[in-house]
Structure 1
Amino acid sequence: MKIVHISPGSGGTFYCENCLKDTALVLALRRLGHDCLVTPMYLPFFLDGSEIAEDSPVFFGGVNTYLQQHLPVFRKTPRWLDQMFDARWVLKLAASREGSTQAEGLGAMTFSVLQAEAGNQAKELERMIRWLREQEQPDVIHISMVLLAGLAKPLKEALGVPVVCSLHDEDVWIDKLDGDYAQQCWDQIRRCLSHCDALVTVSHYYRDLMSQRLSLSNPPQVVPVGIEHTGYELAEFANPPVMGYLSKLCPSLGLGIFVDAFILLKHRPGLEPLRLAAMGGLTGSDRDYVAGLRRKLAAFGFEQDAVFHEKLDREARIQMLKSLRVLSVPMPGGEAFGTFMVEAWAAGVPVVQPDAGGFRELVQQSGGGRIYDNTTPEGLAAALEPLLRDADLARSLGEAGRSVAQQEFSVDTMAERMVNIYESVV
């Protein structure tokens, strides 16, 4: 089967779960013998599996998309000029800016992209269609996020093939859009999804949430995220214990709560040697935020006990996970899935997560951790403490998570489930 997979890149500056999922899926589909062509949007892939898109140009390049939104002259510029702004080094620089990955101020542009041929980036859509027509006719197109659902109708009409669309945490972005754009985008997405032949999401929690918000008569099918488990080393559960964080280093994902819980735990008898390890990359003003956390740790004399890793490639993640006693990303609002949880389980590391989003669903299915209600630093500290004090308890929970993750959250399982969906619409 020939599959065109359309996916936005993040530029590789932070831990992007959608990017990791998409690259892992494409590689697994190719191992199964399918011809999977990747068409990246906005930014290139720079993290795990970035080689999957080396033969494809970037479409709707982040800089060109921005310029075409705000300066009408760029909607008619020749390709040789646009190509300068699509250079990898230019897009890499753009990805490091906070505004390129934050919803605030991007309402008009988000809505314009959803409008596809009626939007300000119509020439980018025309270029994508021309390029895809030059390739071998695909059997199916997979749009990897609902914010790109505006592509469904024109691509389906131009290529005459079915379209599958994924849903994964887009509500967080849409709800942060300025002015009336959030509601306009929700309304436009409802119209766009009528042109999709199948919808898929990553958890039952998110299926139910988006079915309600989009008034879907046919709920999306659930295909949990899977990772490649090969290469992960089992955690050593050595002393002193290390509590770990694996996600973008920013306030909205609970990094401040995590650091404050660490400080509380360090003051408790027997936990004075506790260590902290955090990884996930950052952009823009997040650098100042992390610097502030370092100063707070230094004020307590704990700066030597906390490490904020700069690398976030797969090998770096494997090495950090191997050193942990427990992992937590205490984002108060939760999210649709939590790939960092599956990565922790691949190393036999238990997780401690707030009762939000899809976290409870995953922990209940795997038995690989603890869920807590109080989203304050005190609540997190109370949930972490038993696992930090009892290595055997932490190991048993981590082993339970690892056993289930190898079956239910493997990349091969994810790919096989996706192929079943593709075949149902072809």
Structure 2
Amino acid sequence: MRLAMITAGGAGMFCGSCLHDSTWAKSMLARGHEATLIPCYTPLTLDDEPPTTSRIFIGGINLYLEQKYPLISRLPGWTRKWLDHPQILSFASRFSVSNEAKELGELALSMLRGAHGPHTKSFEELASFIVNEYRPDAVFFSNALMSGPLVNLRSRFRGPIFCMLQGDDIFLDGLLPEYREQAIEQITANASLFDGYITQSDYYARHMSSMLNLDLQKFARLPLAVDTSRLMEDVQLDSTLPSRSQRPVIGYFARICPEKGLHQLIEAGLILAKRGLDFEIRAAGYLPPSQRDYLQAVQHRANPLKDRFRYEGSPPSIHGKNAFLRAIDLFSVPTTYREPKGIFLLEAWAHRLPVVQPAHGAFPEIVPADDYSQAGGLLFSPDNPVDLADQLEQLLLSPEMRMQMGAAGFAKLHHHHDLTALGQATEELLSGWLLKHQSGQTSAT
């Protein structure tokens, strides 16, 4: 079976959705299928090099120019392809882009309107490549915000088209109200052309079904997964990885922004310090230019911790990420928003790290509270630094608990969140669609 996976580039940062799309493609390749990532907007920044198209579609430069100057769409094809070249887009993505809510709202709406917006030519180029050149058996969109080309594609492609929902609500909720409502209405209209919707948690299926007014019966759940062999190869091959500190280290690895909750981890650290506990907090992850003031505020707030807190930047490769995770003892990304997946937990479990997460979003499904011995971590009351400190304290004071929970997470990772689990579930999804399609139904299982 040949699968096309339309995914959005991360503009130079390691993006959880991009990484999972890469893992998804590899899970199908491992089962004898052909799966290719088709990047849009900007080049992909990934831990490895899965099969991708050499061209970036709906490139960010063309997208911006079409939005600002509609006549740009009349440029000759060679000019548009040059602007979509990965090196040109990579260079452009180094510069800060506008994050004005008004401009983001206008751009989101124009993209979602598909054939009725200014990006028709870009969308037609993508649809033509999929139908005439790649010729897949099934197509997957990595989020609903990319559904603008769907009208162009649906009229020419007879196979199933699915949409993965993985954080669309976060972007939509950041728009000005008038744009948010219009964008939701347009996504709902576009979504009628999908054969099914995919999430990685039951929570997110319910949430997006309600938000976008979509039939919950058309939702399917696929397991969150990581390539465990890729995460563990440094443990086996790289003897230069640092050993863990003499005092327990709490680690944070995620984008540096208020939604991910680094400030809450610092508040919990200040509480733990007042209680007399010996520990360190180390943070790493991509720092968007727009969040530099946020990081400075966090660092200022952490001054009483002195040398017990440091930000280590953003590792350029999976080897740097592995080195960071190998040097910590427990892991927490105390998000203030309701996380739809939580791929960073799987990466922590690959290194046998216990996790401490807020009891909202997908986290209670990944770290169930009914059996802590098998959960792989602990949950705390959301937006409650005192409770976060309480849960961290349990693990800081008990190396045995850290070891037991880390081992439980490692076992869960290899039984439920690896390439095999994801590949099998995807095959079942497609087989179920084919059976229903043959009987005159087109809803996803």
Q: Which of residues 254, 257, 267 in structure 1 aligns to 2:261?
A: 254
Matches within 5 A, 1:65-214: 65-97=63-95, 99=97, 105-214=103-212
Contact 1:8 1:43 survives alignment (8 Å): yes
Matches within 5 A, 1:6-405: 6-13=6-13, 15-53=14-52, 55-97=53-95, 99=97, 105-217=103-215, 218-230=217-229, 231-232=231-232, 233=235, 239-271=246-278, 274-297=279-302, 299-300=303-304, 302-303=306-307, 305-364=309-368, 367-405=375-413
Structure-2 change in CA distance of 1:129 and 1:411 (3 Å): same
- Taking the aligned partners of 2:309 and 2:259, their CA distance within structure 1 comes to 23
2:254 partner amino acid: S
Identity over aligned pairs, percent: 27
TM-score, scaled to structure 2: 0.88
* 1:152 Cα offset (Å): 2.8
Structure-2 change in CA distance of 1:305 and 1:330 (3 Å): closer
> Which residue matches 2:424?
416
1:183 partner amino acid: E
Structure 1's consecutive aligned runs of 4 or more residues displaced over 6 angstroms after TM superposition are 100-104, 234-237
Aligned residues: 421
TM-score, scaled to structure 1: 0.92
2:318 partner amino acid: R
- Taking the aligned partners of 2:161 and 2:214, their CA distance within structure 1 comes to 17
RMSD between aligned residues: 2.4
Structure-2 change in CA distance of 1:77 and 1:19 (3 Å): same
Contact 1:225 1:409 survives alignment (8 Å): yes
* 1:18 Cα offset (Å): 0.4
Structure-2 change in CA distance of 1:219 and 1:371 (3 Å): farther
* 1:236 Cα offset (Å): 7.2
1:228-286 per-position Cα deviation (integer Å, ceiling 9, x unaligned)? 11243499776310001111011221112222322332343241xx2222122121222
SS of the aligned residue for 2:344 comes to helix
1:163 partner amino acid: I
- Taking the aligned partners of 2:358 and 2:305, their CA distance within structure 1 comes to 28
Structure 1 runs not aligned, ≥5 long: none
SS of the aligned residue for 1:285 comes to helix
- Taking the aligned partners of 1:24 and 1:165, their CA distance within structure 2 comes to 16
1:355 partner amino acid: A
SS of the aligned residue for 2:51 comes to helix
1:326-383 per-position Cα deviation (integer Å, ceiling 9, x unaligned)? 1111112221110011111111111111122111111018601111115243332222
- Taking the aligned partners of 2:59 and 2:355, their CA distance within structure 1 comes to 37
Contact 2:262 2:298 survives alignment (8 Å): no
- Taking the aligned partners of 1:265 and 1:275, their CA distance within structure 2 comes to 10
* 1:304 Cα offset (Å): 6.3
SS of the aligned residue for 1:239 comes to coil
Structure 2 runs not aligned, ≥5 long: 237-241, 435-445
Contact 2:15 2:45 survives alignment (8 Å): no
Contact 2:41 2:56 survives alignment (8 Å): yes
Contact 2:273 2:305 survives alignment (8 Å): no
* 1:154 Cα offset (Å): 2.1
- Taking the aligned partners of 2:405 and 2:145, their CA distance within structure 1 comes to 36
1:191-219 per-position Cα deviation (integer Å, ceiling 9, x unaligned)? 21211112211101101111222222224
- Taking the aligned partners of 2:172 and 2:66, their CA distance within structure 1 comes to 21
